[in-house]
């Protein structure tokens, strides 16, 4: 049975004064100028998989060339009204599928960045983590004028751009061990770290005992990393509200399905 559609006021009424877990996706960051993955106007995308990234230097060169350009644009994005509203909600836990760091910058407490943060880099050899801003300076020094030559490349929601001309891009190794550097995010083909998943499941399961609700904002729930929490809540009888422009994979599990902008709805909910 399909959920009630467009129950804006009813959804707000259901969610108010309840314990909440909030699951957010790329649609929450569109008001910050970051395109989403699968919205009505989203471009087709073929994200690099983990297996492709570790296949050799050519793939790593292609990834970092695109990411070098995209970082300058994503790095300048600011939290929007939706991020600030989530920070005010006082949710038991906020689970974000986004890697843009905007929840952190909005001051969101009790946050799990399910897929990591694009602002951090990890070495696949020694596992040392470092700041992305420092790597960005190294990339700029090794590739003078590259960003300016490709300033028109369209930005993508993964924090990179659409670009094929990457053959001459110079990629540095880890300064400590000479290993391969990778953004500290979960690529397609990688598993979300088990401890993150366990924390999220625990928060969702606790909603049942506390008469709480799960709110999904700006996610199409296409990938299992987010959908599994909706399934767990629905199976336990916990109300689920989905706010998203466009259909989602969890629509049939929702108590209410609201076709609205995230910033608008979340601001109304947070008051």
Span 92-130, pLDDT tens digits: 999 999 999 999 999 999 999 999 998 999 999 999 999
Choose one of 185, 208, 238: the last residue of a domain: 185
CB 55 within 8 A of CB 239: no
Q: Is 7 exposed, middle or buried (0-12, 13-18, 19+ CB in 10 A)?
A: middle
Note the pLDDT tens digit of each residue in 212-262. 999 999 999 999 999 999 999 999 999 999 999 999 999 999 999 999 999
For residue 5, what are its two tokens? 């559609």
**Radius of gyration of the chain, Cα coordinates, nearest whole angstrom:** 19
Question: Do residues 9 and 29 both lie within one domain?
Answer: yes
List beta partners, residue 95.
23, 112
Report how far residue 62's alpha carbon sits from residue 57's, in angstroms, rounded to the nearest whole number. Answer: 9
Q: Are residues 128 and 210 located together in one domain of the fold?
A: no
- Among 24, 30, 13, 7, which residue's Cα sits nearest to residue 91? 24
Residues 15 and 148 in one domain: no
- Residues 57 and 92 placed together within one structural domain of the fold: no
Q: Domain check: are 156 and 243 in the same one?
A: no
Question: Looking at the whole model, is its pTM more than 0.85?
Answer: yes
pLDDT of residue 5: 55
Residue 85 sits in a domain of what CATH number? 3.40.50.1220
Is the same domain home to 165 and 217? no
Chosen domain end from 142, 167, 185: 185
Are 118 and 102 in contact by the 8 Å Cβ rule? The answer is no
* CA 209 to chain CA centroid, nearest Å: 28
**Residue range 51-65: mean pLDDT, rounded:** 95
The pLDDT of residue 94 is 98
Tell whether 18 and 133 lie within a shared domain. no
Residues annotated as catalytic are: 115
- The reply to whether 229 and 271 lie within a common domain is yes
Binding-site annotation, residues for Zn(2+): 123, 126, 174, 177
What is the extent of the structural domain holding 138?
A: 41-76+118-185
Count structural domains, the chain. 2
- 170-180 pLDDT per residue, tens: 999 999 999 99
Looking at 141, 162, 185, the residue that finishes a domain is: 185
Tell me, what's the pLDDT at 1? 41
**pLDDT (tens digit per residue) in 148-161:** 998 888 777 566 78
- 135, 210: one domain: no
| Same domain (yes/no): 139, 230 | no
Residues 7 and 68 in one domain: no
Same domain (yes/no): 104, 233: yes
CATH number at residue 54: 3.30.1600
């Amino acid at each position: 049975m399909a959920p009630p559609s467009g129950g804006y006021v009813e959804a707000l009424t259901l969610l108010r004064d309840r314990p909440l877990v909030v699951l957010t996706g790329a649609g929450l960051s569109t008001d910050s100028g970051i395109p989403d993955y699968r919205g009505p106007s989203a471009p087709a995308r073929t994200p690099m998989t983990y297996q492709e990234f570790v296949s050799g230097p050519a793939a790593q060169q292609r990834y970092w060339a695109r990411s070098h350009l995209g970082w300058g644009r994503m790095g300048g994005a600011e939290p929007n009204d939706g991020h600030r509203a989530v920070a005010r909600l006082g949710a038991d836990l906020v689970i974000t599928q986004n890697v843009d760091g905007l929840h952190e910058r909005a001051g969101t407490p009790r946050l799990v960045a399910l897929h990591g943060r694009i602002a951090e880099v990890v070495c696949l050899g020694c596992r040392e983590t470092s700041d992305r801003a420092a790597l960005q300076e190294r990339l700029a020094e090794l590739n003078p004028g590259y960003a300016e030559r490709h300033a028109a490349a369209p930005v993508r929601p993964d924090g990179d751009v659409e670009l094929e001309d990457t053959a001459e891009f110079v990629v540095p190794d880890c300064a400590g061990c000479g290993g391969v550097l990778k953004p500290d995010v979960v690529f397609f083909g990688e598993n979300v770290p088990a401890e993150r998943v366990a924390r999220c499941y625990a928060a969702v399961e606790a909603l049942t005992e506390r008469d709480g609700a799960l709110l999904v904002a700006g996610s199409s729930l296409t990938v299992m990393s987010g959908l599994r929490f909706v399934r767990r809540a629905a199976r336990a009888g916990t109300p689920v509200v989905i706010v998203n422009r466009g259909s989602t994979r969890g629509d049939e599990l929702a108590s209410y399905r609201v076709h609205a902008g995230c910033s608008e709805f979340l601001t109304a909910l947070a008051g």
